[in-house]
Structures are given as C-alpha cells and as structure tokens.
Chain A
Amino acid sequence: MTKFILLVCVLVFSGCSDKLVRVMPYEKEYFAQDKMSYSPLADRSEQEGHVFLIREASAGGESAFQGGCGCR
C-alpha cells in the first residue's frame, strides 16, 4: 500500500512539475510573433483614429474635453 501511494505521489508530482509541463522560455519563438498578441494591429490604431476623426468631422469629440458635442 505504501509503495502504491509513493508511486502515485511520484507520478502526480512529476506530472505537475512546471519544468516538465510548461513551454520552456527558449521555445517561445512563435509566442513572440506579432500575430500572437491580443491586438496585432496596435500600431495602426492611432492612424485609424485619426482617419476616423477626419471622416466624422468630430475632432476633439473622443474625450470629455470639449464637451463631446463634436462641434467645438
């Protein structure tokens, strides 16, 4: 019985060992790619916002400053 418990413990702890299970830091090349980020087009958002403001003629309306009516 003791042997069985010890064997189970060894298997469980080995399985839970982060060194054996997790992706090692030197294997994260694909995770480092831009397409793996939550917002892959983050660099473009500022430019898109600028285009949006021009198109909507609502410069300043995106913040609380200016009152938000969009007409200045």
Chain B
Amino acid sequence: MKKILLLILITLTLSAEVKVGDTVNNFTLPYLYDTSKVVSLKTNAGKVTLVNLWASWCSGCKEEMPHFVSLQKKYKKSEFRIILSSVDKKKSKSIKFLNKVDKDKTLLALYDKEKILPKEYRAMGMPSSYLLDENLKIIKIFTGSLDDDAMGELESTINKLLGK
C-alpha cells in the first residue's frame, strides 16, 4: 500500500508545474549572441526580473517582443531586467529576428537549446513569461502572448514591486 501511495506521489510530483509563490532555481545558460559566454540568472537579475521563454517560430512570441524592448527601456537594468530564453533549434533564427526588433541588444538574450527551462517550469504555452522578485520568487506567470491589458498589468506589478 505504501509503495502505491509513493508511486502516486511521484507521478503527481513529476507532472507539477511551477506556480505563483514558488522560488525558481538559479540557472546558467549561454549568451545567445556568443555561446562561449555563460550567463546566470542570479548575477544578472534585477530587483524584478521577467524570464521569457520564446522561439522564432512562435508568432505570439514575436508579436510581444517589441513591447518588451520598449518596456525594458523604461527601467534601469538594476531595477527591472528582461531575460529572454530562446528554445530554437538553430540560434541563427533567433538572432536574425532579434536583430530586427532589438538592434541595441536591450534585452538579455540567452540560448536554451536543450529546452531546460520550459522542461523545469513545465511551460504550458509558448510564449511563457515568469515575473520574479529579487529572491527569485514567482510573482506572476503569463502564458501566451501579452496583449495591451496584460502589458499594463505587468507594468503596474513591476512598479508596485519597485515601490514606484
């Protein structure tokens, strides 16, 4: 009986996705533009951080990207940081797209070829964005492309967390 209960517990644990209030683990991923450089979440996180899982083949991801660029420009990187994690099979596709919408490399773009983050977070959609506080605790999860309302909600949450 104990074994069966243990089996049920393991099954449920395996299928559990991250939720608001959970603390995410620190991760290190290669920098998209130069994969010889490795970037860690902890050392690059701002007081508030948005981790965005995206791919160049995902139309919703591409739609929201210009909004992220303009949102990042409103804040100092020490306050608020957007970290992109591309799950493209070929990083050249991600770079080609980002070169169009983010010429100044405003967003910190990482390359997750092995899809480590979406597997760990059990992302239920593409794109998926996770708003974290300075302790890497998940404050909000956005599944799917952020529309104007969601962007407004995101911005007000950031301001609230920054005490603005």
Measured between alpha carbons, how far is A25 from B123 in the docked complex, in Å? 7
Q: Which of A10, A19, A20, A29 contacts B55 (CB 8 A)?
A: A29
Q: Which of A3, A17, A24 contacts B123 (CB 8 A)?
A: A24
Asked if A38 lies at the interface with its beta carbon under 8 angstroms from chain B, I say no
Contacts of B123 in A (CB 8 A): 24-26
Asked if A43 lies at the interface with its beta carbon under 8 angstroms from chain B, I say no
Size category of the binding interface on chain A? 10 to 19
- In the complex, what's the smallest C-beta–C-beta distance from B152 to chain A, in angstroms? 25
Asked if A14 lies at the interface with its beta carbon under 8 angstroms from chain B, I say yes
Measured between alpha carbons, how far is A20 from B122 in the docked complex, in Å? 11
Q: Is the CB of A14 within 8 A of B4?
A: no
Size category of the binding interface on chain B? 20 to 34
Q: Is the CB of A25 within 8 A of B89?
A: no
Measured between alpha carbons, how far is A10 from B129 in the docked complex, in Å? 32
Number of inter-chain CB pairs below 8 Å = 46
| Residue interface bits B125-140, CB-to-A below 8 A is 1, else 0 | 1101000000000000
Asked if A7 lies at the interface with its beta carbon under 8 angstroms from chain B, I say yes
Of the A-B pairs whose beta carbons lie under 8 Å apart in the complex, a sample of 27, sorted by A's number, is: A3-B1, A7-B4, A10-B7, A13-B11, A14-B11, A17-B11, A17-B15, A19-B15, A19-B17, A19-B122, A20-B14, A20-B15, A24-B123, A25-B118, A25-B125, A25-B126, A26-B55, A26-B87, A26-B115, A26-B118, A26-B119, A28-B57, A29-B57, A29-B88, A32-B58, A32-B59, A33-B57
Binding site for A on B (CB under 8 A): 1, 4, 7-8, 11, 14-15, 17, 53, 55, 57-59, 87-89, 115, 118-119, 122-126, 128
